[in-house]
């Protein structure tokens, strides 16, 4: 038995001794997933989350979590620019709570307006205590960058600092988590025109172009991107297509081997609105369908699911006051506010102030 287990024990011990941003328990589960134990983790998680599904009804919330710095309504905005601001998210409940669905700035202003807005709202009448955390990024005044982590993508040719580069922190507005790992769906990626993992046709792909445009599209371009692409990140099939929920959302096999489409758990997603701005959303106790509905309600016309489970959701905003001051918008107790200011195991996105010139992903 000892001889039989020796290779596994050596692999596990060697992995646990490597640098990591994760606690031992989470790393152990990740090791098991990557060493033919996906089925065991899948079954255990499915049973756990099924037993701990939220119950319908219950007391109403009296207030929503406070996010942002100042209400957008308090900001003086020129009438000529009013149309580019996102409208208030229409409340689900007949009696909205104060500030529900109202966009608020994070305190950083460009051209007299905050380019990053955040808000919260309750998602379903049957579950009055579930809250969605949503962010909106103005693509005309921000630049999105995609960075590899310490171990994801697994075959990254260049990893860089595995955190927000020190030379770019002066213009940092926000960071948020990436999508499903490569092993959980062959989700491809590319940075600055170079393939990090081969892209797979048929998967939703968040693409940043060198001219600043951002798109989410169903990828059909083969394993590599063109020279006009600053980054590309895939994560499962699309969940919103041309403003409508994908009819494939009922196919549980496409939405994560771990939990499929119907188990309620922390889920995150990213969308693009009709003007090309990025919308990020995270909420606990969500199915794929309800996540898509959150993004649709927030204005997304194209959208994709990003990482799920309570370990991974991260939306962090930053103020510049005698140094960089991070603030967690999504209340993930498993991750610190400094998550992406130090090397992290997973890939992530950084939202910067836009500077003149072609958009690239800076590593310094």
Domain parsing of the chain, residue ranges: 2-51, 134-353
- Polymer length of the chain: 364
Query: What is the C-alpha separation between 360 and 143, in angstroms, rounded?
Result: 9
Q: Report the distance separating Cα 91 and Cα 125, nearest Å.
A: 10
Residues sharing a CB contact under 8 Å with residue 89, sequence separation 6 or more, in sequence order: 100, 101, 103, 119, 121, 134, 297, 298, 299
Cα dihedral 233/238/240/241 (nearest 10): 100
Each residue's pLDDT tens digit, 162-195: 999 999 999 999 999 999 999 888 999 999 999 9
> 256: which 2 tokens?
């994560």
Q: Round to whole Å and give the CA distance between 122 and 4.
A: 52
- Tens-place pLDDT, residues 190-215: 999 999 999 999 999 999 999 999 99
- Quote the tokens at residue 3: 């001889």
Q: What is the pLDDT of residue 70?
A: 53
pTM of the model: 0.92
What tokens appear for 302 in the block?
């194209």
Strand arrangement of the beta sheet that strand 204-209 belongs to: 194-197, 189-191, 229-234, 204-209, 214-218
Per-residue confidence of the chain (364 residues) as pLDDT tens digits? Answer: 888 878 888 888 888 888 888 888 888 888 887 777 777 777 777 777 777 788 898 899 999 998 876 544 444 444 445 557 899 999 999 999 999 999 999 877 888 889 999 999 999 999 999 999 999 999 999 999 999 999 999 999 999 999 999 999 999 999 999 999 998 889 999 999 999 999 999 999 999 999 999 999 999 999 999 999 999 999 999 999 999 999 988 766 666 555 556 789 999 999 999 999 999 999 999 999 999 999 999 999 999 999 999 999 999 999 988 889 999 999 999 999 999 999 999 999 999 999 999 999 999 9
């Amino acid at each position: 038995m000892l001889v039989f287990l020796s290779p596994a024990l050596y692999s596990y011990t060697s992995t646990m001794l490597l640098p990591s941003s994760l606690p031992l328990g989470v790393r152990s589960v990740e090791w098991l997933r990557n060493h033919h134990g996906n089925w065991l983790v899948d079954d255990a998680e499915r049973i756990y989350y099924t037993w701990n599904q939220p119950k319908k009804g219950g007391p109403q919330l009296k207030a929503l979590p406070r996010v942002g710095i100042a209400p957008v309504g308090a900001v003086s905005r020129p009438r000529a620019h009013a149309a580019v601001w996102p409208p208030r998210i229409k409340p689900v409940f007949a009696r909205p709570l104060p500030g529900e669905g109202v966009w608020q700035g994070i305190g950083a202003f460009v051209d007299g307006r905050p380019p990053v807005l955040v808000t919260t709202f309750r998602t379903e009448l049957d579950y009055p205590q579930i809250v969605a955390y949503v962010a909106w990024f103005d693509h005309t005044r921000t630049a999105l960058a995609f960075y590899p982590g310490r171990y994801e993508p697994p075959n990254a040719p260049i990893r860089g600092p595995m955190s927000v580069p020190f030379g770019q922190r002066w213009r940092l507005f926000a960071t948020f988590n990436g999508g499903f790992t490569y092993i959980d769906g062959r989700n491809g990626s590319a940075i600055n025109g170079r393939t990090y993992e081969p892209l797979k046709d048929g998967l939703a792909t968040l693409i940043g172009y060198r001219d600043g445009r951002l798109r989410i599209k169903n990828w059909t371009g083969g394993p590599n991107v063109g020279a006009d692409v600053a980054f590309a990140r895939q994560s499962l099939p699309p969940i919103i297509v041309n403003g409508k929920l994908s009819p494939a959302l009922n196919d549980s096999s496409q939405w994560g081997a771990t939990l499929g489409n119907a188990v309620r758990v922390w889920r995150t997603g990213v969308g693009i609105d009709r003007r090309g701005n990025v919308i990020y959303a995270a909420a606990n106790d969500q199915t794929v369908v309800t996540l898509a509905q959150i993004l649709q309600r927030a204005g997304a016309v194209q959208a994709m699911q990003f990482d799920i489970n309570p370990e991974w959701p991260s939306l962090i905003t930053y103020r510049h006051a005698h140094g960089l001051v991070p603030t967690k918008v999504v209340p993930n107790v498993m991750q610190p506010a400094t998550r992406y200011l130090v090397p992290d195991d997973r890939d992530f996105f950084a939202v910067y102030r836009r500077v003149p010139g072609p958009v690239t992903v800076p590593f310094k």
